[in-house]
Amino acid sequence: MEAMTQKIVELRGISKKFGGIFALDRVNFDLYNEIHSIVGHNGAGKSTLVRILMGAIRPDEGEIFLNGKAVTFDSPREAQQNRIAMVWQELSNFPNLSVTENLLMQRFVHKSNGIIDWKASQDLCTQYLLRLNLDISPKSLMGKLSLAQQQLVEFAKALSYDPAVLILDEPTSALSLKEQEILYEKIATIKAQGVAVVFISHKLDEIMHLSDRVTVLRDGQKIFTKNGSELDKDGLVEAIVGKPSEKKKAQRVVSVKQKSTDSSEPVIQIRNLSMERHLEDVTFDLKRGELLGITGVSGSGITDVGRILFGIELEYTGEVLLEGRLYDCTSPQQAVNHGLGYVPKDRKEEGIIPGMSVGDNLILSTLRQIYDHGFVNNKTRKTVIDRTMDIIDLKPRDPEITISSLSGGNQQKVVMARWISEGTRVLILDEPTRGVDVGAIEKIYALIREMTCMGVSVLVISSEFEEIHHAADRLLVFNKGKIVGEIDPAASAWEEAFALAIK
Ligand SMILES: Nc1ncnc2c1ncn2[C@@H]1O[C@H](COP(=O)(O)OP(=O)(O)O)[C@@H](O)[C@H]1O
Ligand SMILES: [Mg+2]
């Protein structure tokens, strides 16, 4: 720690409220030439803290010092001009532009006549990519790269600004183990080159291994900052989730819980499901009319389970039985034919057709019923739409407006309602409340509950521990591709699920 003599950044007494709730409550944080990790559960305030440092969010209170001088950044660009760079939690690139355009942005190489020199710009881009050993063509379209590659390009881009401070907000979630190792190695190298690093992640093993210091946030408050060498994992987990006695009275986010049917008849049986680097020997049952939650932090494999069941992901071993019979599904169309429905995590990319009306979005999966020898049977169309609109209580109740004009919560209802039809036996929902306004979360779960009461078995995939704990009949916790525990929500607190998920 000899190099840790000069304080580079100091955040003093930072508070920020969103809608009356403290996202950060008088938090102090400082950064030397070190790797300083921030950990905490979803919603603890990690992203808000670093966004404030980046000038993306204005704090309500508190001060920021850079090399001892008080500063205020009104935008990330200003932070960047002061040699602070960040890899954001959400990808923030332009999928229709090339890697070179994304990475260099306004910094293209120009010819003497002022025209952009594409060849030289691409070479420069390649140099930046090579700093991270990335074998990616500077000419590829950003949107054609895998999520992990896109994240690594953003990392290369942040480094290309020659930052003195580099912030990485959960950069590992989309990365394979090998890519993570490259990333950790690079983080250590750039620290040795004098860059101070703020690292946000859920992967406690890596954090303890990599960090000089670790700060724990919980519900907007700083619990402690400690040296990496002083930490043990149990202590860290306890700081993150809190001692039982310190727990605030659990807020009931979802109060619509009434157990549907008490059935033990399995509809889906998953046996020894494995997928390289994603899932390992996963076995569980989904019962009739059950609302089963599976939870874990990013990279735990929960999303993969849904993708396998719906026939999107085919590279796995193990078996799936549907109502006792081997279910060998190799495409989403087959899954639908077998009575499965699926709502993906990314509604905008895969869930809705933005230009189409609410009504047409509603009937997407029932189109075959509605087409009559190739013609749309308007009467059937209207009946199906009316019936579904009644069930989901959509506002405004107008099937002809475009779906893009609805709020996130109402869009999600439409996507889910598509699967309310006689054929659906199993519904898989991946992060059903993501991007949904808080007021609508309960309505989404009420709708899910209604479907279980109709006998549909629902698998909810969610990384919102508290929310899914309140909503589910039964909760399985995943960690690094394995089931590490089963939680009975009636008998335990949600923090237990989280503690298992990060151990
Ligand atoms: N732009 C925003 N508007 C309203 N609430 C927000 C916003 N950003 C964050 N929050 C809330 O602030 C809290 C902290 O969020 P965040 O900093 O993203 O947590 P973390 O990164 O630790 O998961 C959460 O309760 C979150 O819902
Ligand atoms: Mg965050």
* Per-residue pLDDT reduced to its tens digit, 325-334: 999 889 888 8
183 — pLDDT class (breaks 50, 70, 90) = confident
Query: Quick one: which atom of ligand 1 is closest to the CA of 89?
Result: 21
Task: Check whether 158 has a pLDDT greater than 50.
Answer: yes
Task: Check whether 143 has a pLDDT greater than 70.
Answer: yes
pLDDT value at residue 1: 47
Task: Check whether 2 has a pLDDT greater than 50.
Answer: no
**Rounded distance, CA 136 to CA 10, Å?**
37
Candidate ranges 7-16, 41-50, 172-181; pick with highest mean pLDDT: 7-16
CB of 42 shorter than 6 A to ligand 1: yes
Task: Check whether 165 has a pLDDT greater than 90.
Answer: yes
**Rounded distance, CA 167 to CA 356, Å?**
39
Mean pLDDT, the chain, as a whole number? 86
Sign of CA dihedral 368, 374, 376, 380: negative
Cβ count within 10 A of residue 417? 23
Give the domains, in start order, of the chain with CATH numbers. Answer: 9-83+163-244 (3.40.50.300), 266-353+424-502 (3.40.50.300)
Query: Quick one: which atom of ligand 1 is closest to the CA of 46?
Result: 22
pLDDT value at residue 371: 54
Candidate ranges 230-244, 350-364, 389-403; pick with highest mean pLDDT: 230-244
Task: Check whether 179 has a pLDDT greater than 60.
Answer: yes
Task: Check whether 3 has a pLDDT greater than 60.
Answer: no
Query: Quick one: which atom of ligand 1 is closest to the CA of 438?
Result: 27
CB of 463 shorter than 6 A to ligand 1: no
| Nearest ligand to the CA atom of 173 | 2
pLDDT value at residue 408: 79
Distance (angstroms) between ligand 2 centre and the Cα of 176 equals: 20
Rounded to 5 degrees, what angle do the CA atoms 418, 419, 422 make?
120
pLDDT value at residue 368: 52
**Rounded distance, CA 327 to CA 94, Å?**
39
What does DSSP say about strands 165-169 and 325-326: parallel, antiparallel, or unpaired?
unpaired
306 — pLDDT class (breaks 50, 70, 90) = very high
Query: DSSP letters along 171-213, please?
Result: TTTT--HHHHHHHHHHHHHHHHTT-EEEEE-S-HHHHHHH-SE
Give the least confident one: 30-34, 233-237, 406-410: 406-410
Q: Using a CB cutoff of 5 Å, list residues around ligand 2, an ion.
A: 46-47, 89
Pocket test for ligand 1, best of 11, 42, 47, 48 (most atoms within 8 A of CB): 48
Query: Quick one: which atom of ligand 1 is closest to the CA of 169?
Result: 21
Mean predicted confidence (pLDDT) in 348-363: 75
pLDDT > 70: percent of the chain: 90
Distance (angstroms) between ligand 1 centre and the Cα of 498 equals: 18
Nearest CA owner, ligand 1 atom 9: 48
CB of 47 shorter than 6 A to ligand 1: yes
pLDDT value at residue 245: 45
Distance (angstroms) between ligand 1 centre and the Cα of 158 equals: 23
Q: Which residue has the higher pLDDT, 258 or 206?
A: 206
Tell me which H or E stretch contains 266.
Answer: strand 266-275
Nearest-10 Cα torsion for 174, 343, 340, 314: -20
198 — pLDDT class (breaks 50, 70, 90) = very high
pLDDT in tens, 430-481: 998 887 777 778 888 988 988 888 889 999 999 989 899 989 999 999 999 9
SS (H, E, C) 402-463: EHHHCCHHHHHHHHHHCCCCCCCCEEEEECCCCCCCHHHHHHHHHHHHHHHHCCCEEEEEEC
Cα-flanking dihedrals φ and ψ of residue 287, to 5°? -95, 165
Query: Of how many residues is the chain composed?
Result: 503
pLDDT in tens, 55-113: 999 999 999 999 999 999 999 999 999 999 999 877 777 888 999 999 998 889 999 99
CB of 435 shorter than 6 A to ligand 1: no
pLDDT in tens, 377-436: 677 778 778 877 877 777 778 888 888 888 778 888 888 887 876 678 999 999 988 877
Residue 70: strand pairing partners? 65
Residue 341: strand pairing partners? 427
Distance (angstroms) between ligand 2 centre and the Cα of 370 equals: 43
482 — pLDDT class (breaks 50, 70, 90) = very high
pLDDT value at residue 249: 39
Distance (angstroms) between ligand 2 centre and the Cα of 201 equals: 9
Q: Which residue has the higher pLDDT, 344 or 318?
A: 318
Tell me which H or E stretch contains 319.
Answer: strand 317-322
Output the CA–CA distances (angstroms, integers) from residue 237 to 195, 208, 417, 482, in the order listed.
Answer: 28, 12, 39, 19
pLDDT value at residue 366: 60
